[in-house]
């Protein structure tokens, strides 16, 4: 099956090499950022956890992660999995990512066997359908040429997901606005698998996009004047989904202080079903 090379490469990045029992190695990609993209480490760590889950143990329903040090995309990352608990309904794994002999990331993930129960969910915001919106292509913005080369490279990097923002992006020419935004997204091509674990790992990867910069929207600080990095990341997965169908990421930022911003996200199908929730605090330090 022929698929878009950007998606094919991401799937290759998620194919970890087994080194020993509960020990895996992953390669990285340079997307133009100063360090390894946090979503890549998040996705690979979740893949490592899944590789130690026996058949019939269910799917990941929640994860909590800390980014401890910058990742070096020139070197491999080793993922060590601790099989913390195999219960009747729930399974818990802790994953440590190691590079150059130091911990750079830690993940706790919980898995649950399927069961039925009470259900309710928040309604999706009333936004235009993705077909009515234009794809976000910062490489076509004439203001891109006014930015430093490292920033241009990061913004113009070709991604394995397509994004269609409801609000005008604020990275290149920011104007003060509410700390709220909605973005439609989906994989650039059909994922060649129906297995839910793969779609959940891909969602972990893409969930790191469009969160932290929401906390910048009220402040209108140019990206070249900022040092930004994820500090921690949490995700709760409520219902099945596919990442190659349109999903809406509705994000708000209730607070920023102490050089940090807090952001929350809700992810919906285009039919309005809430499939996941996220939260992230990140460094957003203004350079002198």
Of the residues 208, 213, 244, 266, only one is catalytic, namely 208
Task: Tell me the C-alpha distance between 64 and 234, whole Å.
Answer: 4
- CB-based burial label for 227 (10 Å; 0-12, 13-18, 19+): exposed
- pLDDT value for 1: 66
Which regions of the chain does DSSP assign to beta strands (E)?
A: 17-20, 23-26, 59-67, 77-86, 90-99, 102-112, 161-165, 180-187, 226-237, 247-257, 260-269, 274-286
Q: Is residue 123 part of a domain?
A: no
Of the residues 28, 33, 207, 280, only one is catalytic, namely 280
Task: Tell me the C-alpha distance between 10 and 43, whole Å.
Answer: 10
3 state SS of 123: coil
Alpha helices in 5-37 (DSSP H): 5-13
Q: Which two tokens stand for residue 232?
A: 């921690």
- pLDDT value for 20: 96
Q: Is residue 122 part of a domain?
A: no
Give the orientation angle of helix 38-50 with respect to helix 5-13, to 10 degrees.
60
Return mean pLDDT, the chain: 92
Q: Is residue 121 part of a domain?
A: no
What's 222's domain CATH number?
A: 2.40.160.210
pLDDT per residue as tens digits for the range 219-273: 988 877 888 889 999 999 999 999 999 999 999 999 999 999 999 999 999 999 9
Facing residues of 24 across strands? 18, 79
Q: Is residue 55 part of a domain?
A: yes
Kindly give the pairing relationship between strand 226-237 and strand 23-26.
unpaired
Query: Sign of dihedral through CA atoms 179, 181, 10, 52?
Result: positive
- pLDDT value for 236: 98
Domain of 49, in residue numbers = 5-113+128-286
Q: Angle CA(135)–CA(138)–CA(140) in degrees, nearest 5?
A: 90
- pLDDT value for 136: 80
Task: Tell me the C-alpha distance between 28 and 160, whole Å.
Answer: 14
280 is known as an active-site residue = yes
Facing residues of 162 across strands? 186
208 is known as an active-site residue = yes
Q: Is residue 186 part of a domain?
A: yes
Residue 39 · residue 208 · CB < 8 Å: yes
pLDDT per residue as tens digits for the range 145-186: 767 676 777 777 778 999 999 998 876 678 899 999 999 999
Q: Is residue 156 part of a domain?
A: yes
Residue 57 · residue 50 · CB < 8 Å: no
pLDDT per residue as tens digits for the range 116-140: 999 999 999 999 999 999 988 776 6
- Total domain count, the chain: 1
Q: Angle CA(189)–CA(214)–CA(106) in degrees, nearest 5?
A: 75
Of the residues 230, 253, 266, 277, only one is catalytic, namely 230
Task: Tell me the C-alpha distance between 141 and 244, whole Å.
Answer: 26
Q: Is residue 237 part of a domain?
A: yes
Q: Is residue 136 part of a domain?
A: yes
Task: Tell me the C-alpha distance between 99 and 31, whole Å.
Answer: 18
């Amino acid at each position: 099956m022929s698929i878009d090379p950007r998606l094919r490469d991401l799937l290759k990045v998620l194919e970890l090499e087994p080194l020993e029992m509960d020990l895996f190695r992953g390669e990285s990609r340079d997307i133009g950022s100063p360090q390894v993209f946090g979503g890549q480490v998040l996705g690979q760590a979740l893949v490592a956890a899944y590789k130690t889950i026996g058949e019939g143990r269910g799917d990941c329903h929640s994860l909590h992660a800390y980014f401890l040090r910058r990742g070096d995309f020139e070197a491999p990352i080793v993922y060590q999995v601790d099989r913390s608990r195999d219960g009747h309904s729930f399974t818990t794994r802790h994953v440590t990512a190691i590079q150059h002999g130091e911990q750079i990331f830690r993940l706790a993930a919980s898995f649950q066997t399927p069961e039925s129960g009470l259900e309710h969910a928040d309604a999706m915001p009333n936004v235009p359908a993705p077909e009515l919106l234009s794809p976000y292509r910062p490489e076509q913005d004439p203001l891109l040429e006014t930015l430093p080369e490292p920033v241009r490279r990061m913004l113009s990097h070709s991604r394995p997901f397509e994004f269609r923002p409801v609000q005008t992006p604020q990275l290149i020419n920011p104007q003060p606005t509410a700390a709220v935004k909605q973005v439609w997204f989906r994989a650039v091509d059909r994922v060649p698998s129906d297995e839910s674990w793969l779609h959940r790992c891909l969602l972990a990867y893409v969930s790191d996009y469009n969160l932290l910069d929401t906390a910048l929207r009220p402040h209108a600080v140019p990206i070249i004047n900022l040092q930004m990095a994820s500090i921690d990341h949490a995700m709760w997965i409520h219902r099945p989904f596919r990442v190659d169908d349109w999903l809406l990421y509705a994000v708000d930022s209730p607070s920023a202080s102490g050089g940090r911003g807090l952001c929350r996200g809700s992810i919906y199908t285009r039919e309005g079903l809430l499939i996941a929730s996220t939260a992230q605090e990140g460094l957003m330090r203004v350079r002198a």
